[in-house]
Structure 1
Amino acid sequence: MSRDEMQNLQSKRLIKMVDRVYHNVEFYRKKMQAMGLEPGDIGGIEDLNKLPFTTKTDLRDNYPFGLFAIPQSEIVRVHASSGTTGKATVVGYSRRDIENWQECVARVLAMVGLGKEDKIQVSYGYGLFTGGLGLHYGAENLGATVIPMSSGNTKKQVTMMEDFGCTAIACTPSYLLHIIEVLEEEGAIGRIKLKAAICGAEPWTENMRKEIETRLHINAHDIYGLSEVMGPGVAADCEYHAGLHVYEDHFVPEILNPDTLEPCEPGEIGELAFTTITKEALPLFRYRTKDLTSINYEKCECGRTLARISRFKGRTDDMLIIRGVNIFPSQVETALLELGETSPHYLMIVDRVNHQDTLEVWVEVEERFFSDEIKELEHLTLKIAYVLQQALGLSVKVKLVEPKTIERSEGKAKRVIDKRKLV
């Protein structure tokens, strides 16, 4: 679609969605009334900024079903986030919501070159988490063969991958690195038929993508989504890896200044917000994701005209402020991978000693670089500390640990332990 055609479609769907939400969701109706806003005031996508924002707190305050816009009898599935604080955010789906979700994920899989002849190993967790079932039904919708492994039991993952001749795997990038370690230990890299990986559910860097591709001899793609908006399949990158294509016919993206909430210019980093224009069960106005990215409306080299969001810089809520410096874990990961003498596994430990913040980074040293020579290890420690200081803008204490010392994750990798008592 041209940009005009896409905006016309978005406008039609937005107008319908606002009218339906106003009459069916008390929370939004009260918000709009407090702003002096009626459905008739929204004449198209150009009026999107008139609508109120929605946050995760709003979902939790209306726990469990307060934001649903259809009767309970029309809800065919419920998912919930795995939040560590407060109540979970509950998401409902109508039958059409599920069908749209399947289509979006199928689009992603087709974009990365998969089809009916492929066997896709789904190693995201199944259950209330949207990852496993999202990829599962999307792959079935594509016509591919699904191997619903879920996460965990890595040796069995490797066995099934080899025995079944899996050609693609869907999982978190950190878990895929763990799978790669087991494949290498068993000398199985040359015996598997993988050609693609669809990774998401946690931030990862371009360097990590390249490492996965090099070690597995495959193409690795980034898939993005969040349960509140749908689940995986909101956006993904094509073979050119020049940003993640957003399925704008379902989700209208905005990039906002996190401080002023005013729109950012294309290419400017800001907080990503989504308005869902086809969701029936849980439609959301301008949902603030807390993900930091930029947007590009130019036509991609692949030919797609969908807007593209850049690889995420981080999140407004996982940003660490250490001695006045803003730090994202992805900055540490990028610096370590560029150094090339460590594994991609690291742990950031933040503490406060004598009223001053400290940052210690545990770094696994690759087997080939690990030595009992104290001088060599001291030299490497200083080298890593210098690289991190240059990348982060503050001094860092580095602790080298042996290979496989840092706990592996079968879901989202835990990268930060913050011991500070922060209010």
Structure 2
Amino acid sequence: MWREILGQVRHHQGWQNYYRSQGIDLAGIETEKAFKRLPVLKKSDLPRLQKEQPPFAGLAEERRVARIFVSPGPIYDPQGLAGDYWQFAPLFTKIGVGEGDIVQNTFSYHLSPAGFMFDSAARAVGAKVVPAGTGNTALQVEIMRDLQVTAYAGTPGFLLRLLKAAEEKGLWPGRELALSKAIFTAEKVTEEMDRFFQERGIKYIDAYGTADLGCVAYRLPGEEGFTLLDDVYAQICDPDSGEEVRGDMAGELVISRASDVYPLVRFGTGDVSRWVEEGRSIAGVLSRVGDSYKVKGMFVYAHQLKEAVEQLPVEYYQAVITHEHGQDQLTIKVELAAGADGSPQQLEEWAKAIQEMIRVKPQLAVVEKGSISREEKQLVDARAQESKARS
């Protein structure tokens, strides 16, 4: 597999230039050992590289690009011309979605590629798609009932919320609702969620992928790890050195993959994982490297959050990510600057202004001056601690 990937980038001028700038001649890479020692291209470096050479840092075949998406950073992600460009269609097939199914796609179609990822995959297997997008719980429940939707695409937390809202109205899967299949990504399926879906007869598959790479791996209920797709060359590496770590140690997930649009070699996803079965399955996303975390399916970068909050009359802040009632929550504690009133209306306006920058709407909470520790990070992911506390 590594030979195919290497052969592709050897004939790609942008990739040749990228390696030449680091003193590397791809013609001299002749063994898998040498391939594994190529420098890691960090996802966190893409904003800088793309700004220097827009839109894709010269690493994509622009003549084969159909759409350009924008991920936080900003990072510009290409979509190729293929019908199932991101390779999620096989996952729909694995849970029996095909002709005759109606898929309610609750991922965003705005700037982010997630909506199109699952839309194109569902259509590739012959299913009809309701491009529902995010939010609007009451309307989504109504759509699910009226159209007798059979499959769902979105985060597990949002489906949990939809079904609880539906059941409060007396609408149950297997009775008033036809929903029986689901494909999830961007959020962990907790034991509570798994139990909830299984009790309602909903067959689901949990996917791991990125906007850059498309679908990378999947997990079915009861499986410990996420099984890698056949064309994925994965490594678990030390995030600093780029060297592979031993055994079941955790490290950065580094992916190489062939593509006639956007081949990627030793791409550092920024996701921390470990092997469940080396070369075959990974443990999913255990945490993030550096200063970014995935919240409600979107990456929140510390530097972008800082830039957004600095536009407000705030003296100091700390943002904390939690997981409450089946959903991720971003709460920003703020110490107000002199003259700021901090009224509910004002906080709502600030929350919307921050959302414009980071694509996730936070909750703001005013705290006393000096109450936020200056020793702690200003973007804290508390979900891991919550998970340990529950177990």
Q: TM-score, normalised by structure 1?
A: 0.66
Between the aligned partners of 1:413 and 1:238, the Cα distance in structure 2 is 31
After TM superposition, give the deviation of residue 177 of structure 1 in Å. 2.4
Q: Specify the alignment match of 1:276 in structure 2.
A: 257
Between the aligned partners of 2:230 and 2:65, the Cα distance in structure 1 is 24
Kindly indicate whether residue 219 of structure 2 is the aligned counterpart of residue 219 of structure 1.
no
* Aligned with residue 38 of structure 2, among 46, 51, 54: 51
Q: How does 1:214-293 map to 2 (within 5 A)?
A: 214=198, 216-230=200-214, 233-249=215-231, 251-277=232-258, 279-293=259-273
Kindly indicate whether residue 14 of structure 2 is the aligned counterpart of residue 17 of structure 1.
no
Aligned-partner SS, 2:149:
coil
Indicate the percent of aligned positions where both proteins have the same amino acid.
Answer: 22
Per-residue CA distance 1:78-122 (angstroms, 9 max, x = gap): 1121x2xxx410012332xx34525x2111111223222322111
Pair 144,346 (structure 1): closer, same or farther in 2 beyond 3 Å? closer
Over the aligned positions, Cα root-mean-square deviation in angstroms equals: 3.2
* Aligned with residue 167 of structure 1, among 150, 161, 174: 150
Between the aligned partners of 1:31 and 1:248, the Cα distance in structure 2 is 31
Q: TM-score, normalised by structure 2?
A: 0.70
Q: Specify the alignment match of 1:30 in structure 2.
A: 20
Kindly indicate whether residue 27 of structure 2 is the aligned counterpart of residue 40 of structure 1.
yes
Aligned-partner SS, 1:222:
strand
Aligned-partner SS, 2:264:
coil
* Aligned with residue 286 of structure 2, among 306, 310, 313: 313
Q: How does 1:314-353 map to 2 (within 5 A)?
A: 314-316=287-289, 317=291, 343-344=325-326
2:9–2:16 contact (8 Å) kept in structure 1: no
Amino acid of the structure 2 residue aligned with 1:127: H
After TM superposition, give the deviation of residue 195 of structure 1 in Å. 1.3
Which runs of 5 or more structure 2 residues have no equivalent in the other structure?
Answer: 294-319, 336-358, 379-391
Aligned-partner SS, 1:245:
strand
Between the aligned partners of 2:131 and 2:333, the Cα distance in structure 1 is 40
Pair 240,20 (structure 1): closer, same or farther in 2 beyond 3 Å? farther
More helix by share: 1
After TM superposition, give the deviation of residue 351 of structure 1 in Å. 6.8
More strand by share: 2
* Aligned with residue 98 of structure 2, among 108, 115, 125: 115
1:32–1:51 contact (8 Å) kept in structure 2: no
Q: How does 1:410-421 map to 2 (within 5 A)?
A: none
Between the aligned partners of 1:132 and 1:15, the Cα distance in structure 2 is 31
Pair 193,415 (structure 1): closer, same or farther in 2 beyond 3 Å? farther
Which runs of 5 or more structure 1 residues have no equivalent in the other structure?
Answer: 1-9, 299-305, 320-327, 337-342, 354-410
Q: Specify the alignment match of 1:399 in structure 2.
A: none
Between the aligned partners of 2:363 and 2:226, the Cα distance in structure 1 is 24
After TM superposition, give the deviation of residue 145 of structure 1 in Å. 1.8
Q: Specify the alignment match of 1:382 in structure 2.
A: none
2:89–2:125 contact (8 Å) kept in structure 1: yes
Q: Specify the alignment match of 2:115 in structure 1.
A: 132
Q: Specify the alignment match of 1:192 in structure 2.
A: 177
Between the aligned partners of 2:328 and 2:77, the Cα distance in structure 1 is 33
2:2–2:233 contact (8 Å) kept in structure 1: no
After TM superposition, give the deviation of residue 219 of structure 1 in Å. 2.6
Pair 415,274 (structure 1): closer, same or farther in 2 beyond 3 Å? farther
Aligned-partner SS, 1:242:
coil
After TM superposition, give the deviation of residue 77 of structure 1 in Å. 1.6
Instruction: Report how many aligned residue pairs link the two structures.
Output: 316
Q: Which range moved further: 168-177 or 69-78?
A: 69-78
Aligned-partner SS, 2:213:
coil
Pair 177,79 (structure 1): closer, same or farther in 2 beyond 3 Å? same
Pair 225,255 (structure 1): closer, same or farther in 2 beyond 3 Å? same
Pair 352,193 (structure 1): closer, same or farther in 2 beyond 3 Å? closer
Between the aligned partners of 1:225 and 1:58, the Cα distance in structure 2 is 19
After TM superposition, give the deviation of residue 30 of structure 1 in Å. 3.2
1:295–1:309 contact (8 Å) kept in structure 2: yes
After TM superposition, give the deviation of residue 68 of structure 1 in Å. 3.4
